[in-house]
A and B are shown apart, each in its own frame.
Chain A
Amino acid sequence: MHAEAIDPRTVRWVLNDAHLTPGKLHLDWEHVEAAWCEVSAIWVRLDEPLWPQLGRDIARRLSELVRTGVLFTSPDPQVVHLVAEHILGAELGDYFRSHGGQVELRGSGPDWVEVSLSGACHSCPAAVLTLQGRIAVALRNRLGEPVEVRKVA
């Protein structure tokens, strides 16, 4: 597994061949404010930016948890929001920018997201392809369930 920094308090731990149940993850660990699961990643948010000190330890414990399969998750629409933002920002952000456009998250629910297209994306003939081909597929891969992508103004 490896770590991807989201913000100073949040790290997304990418697991190679895990298959977790997406949702809110219940971790009763010191300094852990909240945690969520994707299909093969775990998000951990600390109450303070203590990752340099706690990182290794948390990594080991997470790895142990995944190995033993003891993960308690409950469905949480917050996960959809987090993952969608990550896809639009970190994963596809550079791609949109290189085309001169922008796609922003406007809202999300348990099985849907709403995005707005601006810049070159606004009138792009391939917009549907992007929305369904790229974004929706990425969401499905990471959340395990189909997620509807709706375009709003």
Chain B
Amino acid sequence: MSNNHVTLEDGAGGRESALLVQTIFRSRFGGTEDGFADAARKPFPGGQLLMSTDGFVVQPAEFPGGNIGKLAVCGTVNDIAVSGGRPLYLAAGYIIEEGFPLQALERIAEAMATTAHECGVSIVTGDTKVVPRGQADGVYIHTTGVGTPVCEPLPPGPVALENGDVLIASGNLGEHGLALLAFREGLLDPDSNLQSDCAPVHRATAQLQITLGTDLRLMRDPTRGGLATTLWEIVHGRDFNFLIEEADLPYNQNFYSLAAMLGLDLLHLPSEGRFIAIVKNTRVDDAVQCLRQSGCPDARVIGRISKERPGRTVLITSIGGQRFLEPLAQEQLPRIC
């Protein structure tokens, strides 16, 4: 926030975003005591309801690996999934700029229908508005989803974390963010083999929950701000930290090289088809095997919980040194040389 207006940094997903949400919204709304979890869990007649909502403003609306529609379904499905839920129903709202091509809108809607069907969810209600040319950027989509717990009790969250708990990543990091950025800058073709990783993760998360019970402490999906920001959200202000092994971080080699050339860091770029899980250390083999058998062949251990540097994430580098891994403070700007 700057003087009296909202800035782009407020939407980047790191500290500034958290501050905006806290000071403007959370301070006024009741019912958000869950904190910055990916979905709300509320009592509901007959059990618990999980509910999540998300806005999608991606530019451009169509990109290698998908479009804003597929993203809108996967994003909300995944938020419910990593919170321990089985997603059931989605609502979808559209704000469309006058002049947006109908064929593109059809492709977007088709992608939503296909993805919803693959996920086993139904889009049951929605709303559509059209605004005059220039008052929206193509199309914005907002989805809200509801689901029920896969099993109970649900993953307990950061309060249950213990020294020595293990951090697992379900697959390669940062691909959606880099593919989008590179495509937008004209560095990739629409049919490039460097694509967004946009995909639903709910089957893998459900299997993990069923297999581990409460030995699964929590799950998160590293979207805006990337893994570094997600880790910060978990440890910030608490008495434990993450120790991450840089040599174990999963990357696609082509993405890694592209990021290095552009001076960008995959750890600060969003994934839209990956999640992290923190599990009790005695169950780590069960967890990794479960994930690899549930559509996450690249799942692996990337670090653990420690108490040495409370509130931070420490990266053990490929040559055995140490440095901090910080959340995204501002949008990444490519370097000079």
Asked whether A and B interact, the reply is no
- Residues in A lying within 8 Å of B, measured CB to CB: none
Could you list which residues of chain B lie within 8 angstroms of chain A, going by C-beta atoms?
Answer: none
